[in-house]
Amino acid sequence: MKIILVDDETKFINMLARRLSLRGLDADVAYSGEQALEKAAQTRYDIAVLDMKMPGMSGLALKNKLLKKLPDIKFIFVTGHGGVDKNGNSDLSEEIFLAKPLNIDTLIDTIQQQIHPHK
């Protein structure tokens, strides 16, 4: 399983990648949507963990672009700006959102559920 973590908060995302690595998960980091798209052109990722609000490109905009390159990729969104109102927004109704600060066990469980939904 290959994971890409995308967030403009470099310290946060580097720490998260290290913690996932310590748990045996292979995660790359990207600090912007553009950098994530460059990496996705060269690597087949199974799951993307995307910050909702990043300069230049939102998490949702990045999702739509990543799906064109990797149609089977799964997504988890993270937000540090409180809850997300999914009502009335069909783009958000099926999405998984986790609030910062992330609980590493919750993130890993969510990743496993996305990759293996019937376990």
In order of 10, 24, 39, 65, 76, the CA distances from 110 in angstroms are 22, 15, 23, 22, 8
The SS3 assignment for 50 reads: strand
- pLDDT digit of tens for each residue in the chain (119 aa)? 999 999 999 999 999 999 999 999 999 999 999 999 999 999 999 999 999 999 999 999 999 999 999 999 999 999 886 655 555 555 656 788 899 889 999 999 999 999 887 76
Give pTM, 2 decimals. Answer: 0.89
| Structural domain boundaries in the chain | 3-115
pLDDT of residue 108: 95
Q: How far apart are CA 62 and CA 67, in angstroms?
A: 9
Q: What is the tens place of the pLDDT at every residue in 97-109? A: 899 889 999 999 9
Q: Which CATH class is domain 3-115?
A: alpha beta
